[in-house]
Amino acid sequence: MYFLRNREIIMIILLVFSVLTIIQSNQSSSEVVIIDIDRTIDHGLVHLVRKATESIDRNNTVLLRINSYGGYLDSADKIIDTLRERANYCIAWIDTGSKAVSAAAYIALSCRRIYMAPGSVLGGIKPYPFEEKIVNYIESRIRSFLAEKTNISVEIEIFIKQLVREGKSYTVDELSELGIVSKASSIDEVFMKENIVKVKSIHKAGLIESILSTLTNPLVSSLLVLIGGLLIIIEILTTGFQGYAIPGIVMLVTGLYGLYLVPADVVLLLILLIGVSLIAFEILTPGFGLIGLSGVILLIIGIFIGLYNTPPEARTTSLYIALSSIIMIASFMLFIMYKAIMIVKMKKPSISDKIINQIGYAKTDIFETQPGVVYVMNEDWTAYSLKGLIKAGSKVKVVKIEGLKIYVEPVD
């Protein structure tokens, strides 16, 4: 009886343990947000990672599908900081034939787990320019990343030195022996090992990221600043308003944004202000409509950028209603302003328009070469005859005017 009772207790304990294991397994399973790191590590990818993780659930796993030769250190740092701040758990996946080199390897090593398929490569984190303070910074940060995955042994220290100072790259077998990465033949195997049950979303670089990558290229940004400055100088040196300053200001501020000297909010505000200014200029000085059309296009671009940079959770129905109301009110006010200006600018009849063909009478004799006096429109005018002598008291018609002199002819 004693033996049976103990066996029953053991069975109950095992049953409870199994149930708890199943419950924990279900609880540890999660959704995954996949981000493709498959291009140069620059501000475009920083934007992609920030957009992908801005509304992420802390229970979600972030999986980076990496296939990149690297890029800029500051962009890689921003990506790493964003992931560590917003994502609870980050996985790096390097598929067969793919590579994580330089800044891409730096990002991969920051993840809590790294999975590599046969035929993949990781390494080559040799900074350029090669400065000791930058090298020490990268080594220290990689050392802190690896301390989360394995013990920092002599072999690991050698690995870090060769990785950063010599730019050495490693295969999956070499890294697996060091305990830095895990082998996986496919992404499905990664999902199984990490108990991932569902893909929540997949984020790939698109047009916006390509534009940002181009604008934040140091050479492109510098040229934008140079050309924008030259256009502004040309506008200043040219007589009258030629319009060179408008694209000049846009290019200058865009270039400064690309060099991280001006925040995005300032660029957005400037685009909206220039758009409104161009529309106002078109209303005040009506022309071919090109300036006004440019203003409308800039306003649309500005509104689109503003909405794109608004977090998804803030894009509520109330926001769209408010924006629609503001746009409608602004459009109505611009229409009223336009009509008012048109009325004010409506062509007023000149003195010539008023007096030509008016009928008056000669108060004195009027000759072709000697002036006389004509009374017309309740005023006395110095007048010359166009057809011989006009006797005093005769009816006359005004034919033309030159300054304050009028030319008349008799009326039968």
Q: What is the CATH number of the domain that holds 374?
A: 2.40.50.140
Residues 122 and 154 in one domain: yes
Q: Which residues contact residue 222 at a Cβ distance below 8 angstroms, ignoring those fewer than 6 apart?
A: 255, 259
Q: Quick one: pLDDT at residue 1? A: 46
Task: Domain count for the chain, please give it.
Answer: 3
Residues 177 and 260 in one domain: no
Other beta carbons less than 10 A from residue 66's beta carbon: 27
Residues 203 and 216 in one domain: no
Residues 204 and 220 in one domain: no
Q: Tell me the residue range of the domain where 46 lies.
A: 27-209
Residues 218 and 141 in one domain: no
Other beta carbons less than 10 A from residue 131's beta carbon: 10
Query: Can you list the residues of the chain whose pLDDT is less than 50?
Result: 1-4, 16-29, 313-314
Structural domain contains residue 218? yes
Residues 217 and 143 in one domain: no
Q: Quick one: pLDDT at residue 19? A: 42
Q: Quick one: pLDDT at residue 2? A: 43
Q: Is the pTM of this model over 0.85?
A: no
Q: Quick one: pLDDT at residue 315? A: 56
CA separation for the pair 33, 189 (Å, rounded): 16
Q: Quick one: pLDDT at residue 198? A: 86
Q: Quick one: pLDDT at residue 26? A: 39
CA separation for the pair 256, 232 (Å, rounded): 15
3-state secondary structure of 184: coil
Structural domain contains residue 1? no
Q: Quick one: pLDDT at residue 312? A: 55
Q: Which residues contact residue 362 at a Cβ distance below 8 angstroms, ignoring those fewer than 6 apart?
A: 372, 373, 374, 383, 390, 391, 392, 393, 394, 396, 408
Q: Quick one: pLDDT at residue 29? A: 47
Q: Quick one: pLDDT at residue 223? A: 81
Residues 110 and 186 in one domain: yes
Residues 292 and 225 in one domain: yes
For the domain that residue 35 is a member of, what is the CATH number? Answer: 3.90.226.10
Contact between 57 and 85 (Cβ < 8 Å)? no
Q: Quick one: pLDDT at residue 5? A: 53
Residues 230 and 288 in one domain: yes
Q: Per the omega criterion (within 30 degrees of 0), is the bond before 129 cis?
A: yes
Structural domain contains residue 128? yes
